[in-house]
Amino acid sequence: MTTPYGSYELTRFPEDPRDQLRAWDAADEYLLRHLASGTGDHGPVDLAGAGQVTILGDRWGALTTALAAFHPAQITDSYLARAGTAANLDRAGIGTAKSTVRLLTTQDAPPERIDVLLVRVPKSLALLEDQLYRLAPHVHAGTVVVGTGMVKEIHTSTLKLFEKILGPTKTSLAEKKARLIFCTPSATSTRAVDPWPVTYTLDEDAGSGAGLTAVNHAGIFCADRLDVGTRFFLQSIPNNTNGARVVDLGCGNGIVGTAVAVADPKAEIVFTDESYQAVASAKATFRANVERERERADFLVGDGVAMLDPGSVDLVLCNPPFHSHQATTDATALRMFAQSRKVLRPGGELWVVANRHMGYHTHLRRLFGNSEVAASEPKFVVLRAVKQEERRRPV
């Protein structure tokens, strides 16, 4: 990536030489050009003398790496984006210690005072709303606020959020299908209250989740309701886990793992997701439904189940994503499946719910040597794969 601040070799995380997707796009480039030279009525931004620079939602560290000399704080909901930023900083010979870049999560306290706020518009409007509410008390009338995104990512509702929470907002002309957002923070001290997280009770059609309380922080898939795929999954997952060690992989709000814990108090549940908002949701959902003296659960933010020991798990339950930001891809799901096979004990099972058209049964059969349909409906399918005992080759 070539910018006014230098040229950088950037990759997504985890690095995969077969990955054809770049770690930056035209929206990142547009914002960096604007900061250096200005756009329309808005001149360049003197970052060297600006004070605290905060970058919200940087996808893979493109903005943070290019602006590392100005000691920014990056705020992200993604473990993978955070790890990718650290890797790209190291690749550029910068490193978080040398550059004094702070890598914060959406669950961390933001910088006390923000003088420049750069926002990479997220796919989730709810996450943008929640984060703008969290950051609003830390900006001031002189804060420079600039957002960026591809044209298809910036809608009237996006601009209304900036206007409602921070102040008057307008957009730039489009360049290479990217657009900038300019917001002037108001001096008002009275702001609406952040509506997140939201809480609701699952109805009787939610299978083993019926009657449970779900707590959703902003940013998770279907943040204000139970998505139809998970609802179907809850009608299909095993009812008796017999004290097993169960992983809710890509846990979202954690309702699947929580349903297992309620049905089998002896089960040990591991909730894992790459989203800090999701793991916070899972923890809140679990605590809302399970008595503390019966708790046997871990809550882990990371890359799938890469942090777990091989052969340490009896059952993995997974509703995998098939998007990476705006790109449709099965790469994340396939990595989840491969990781699951590694951590399952022989005889352990992986259960997956997915849109029927994804064709995951073929991948599971190739990886596990078997795959069967546990449940199906016109749109969704639940697949079950069993890890086989590995045969030892004769010496």
What whole-number distance in Å separates Cα of residue 149 and Cα of residue 121?
6
Every domain of the chain with CATH number 3.40.50.150 lies at 2-183, 198-386
**Separation CA 122–CA 168 (nearest Å):** 20
pLDDT of residue 394: 57
CATH second-level architecture of 2-183? 3-Layer(aba) Sandwich (3.40)
Six-digit token string for 252: 């979202």
Predicted pLDDT at 48:
93
pTM of the model: 0.94
**What integer pLDDT is reported at residue 325 of this predicted model?**
44
CA distance 34 to 38: 4
pLDDT at 329 (0 to 100): 62
**CA–CA distances in Å: residue 67 to residues 11, 31, 47, 62, 266:** 17, 11, 9, 9, 50
What is 198-386's CATH topology?
Answer: Rossmann fold (3.40.50)
Phi/psi class of residue 74: alpha, beta or left (left: φ > 0; alpha: ψ in -120 to 50)? Answer: beta
SS (H, E, C) the chain: CEECCEECCCCCCCCCCCCCCCCCCHHHHHHHHHHHHCECCECCCCHHHCCCEEEECCCCCHHHHHCHHHCCEEEECEHHHHHHHHHHHHHCCCCHHHHCCEEEECCCCCCCCCCEEEEECCCCHHHHHHHHHHHHHHCCCCCEEEEEEEHHHCCHHHHHHHHHHCCCEEECCCECCEEEEEECCCCCCCCCCCCCCEEEECCHHHHHHCCCEEEECCCCCCCCCCCHHHHHHHCCCCCCCCCCEEEEECCCCCHHHHHHHHHCCCCEEEEEECEHHHHHHHHHHHHHHCCHHHCCEEEEECCCCCCCCCCCEEEEEECCCCEECCEECCHHHHHHHHHHHHHEEEEEEEEEEEEHHHCHHHHHHHHHCCCEEEEECCCEEEEEEECCCCCCCCC
Give the pLDDT of residue 99: 66
Residue by residue, pLDDT tens for the chain (395 residues) are: 999 999 999 999 998 888 888 999 999 999 999 999 988 778 899 999 999 999 999 999 999 999 999 999 999 999 999 999 999 999 999 876 666 899 999 999 999 999 999 999 999 999 999 999 999 999 999 999 999 999 999 999 999 999 999 999 999 999 999 999 999 999 764 567 999 999 999 999 899 999 999 999 999 988 788 999 999 999 999 988 999 999 999 999 999 999 999 999 999 999 999 999 999 999 999 999 998 867 899 999 999 999 999 999 999 999 998 644 444 467 889 999 999 999 999 999 999 999 999 999 999 999 999 999 999 999 999 999 999 987 665 55
pLDDT of 395 reads 53
Provide the pLDDT for residue 97: 65
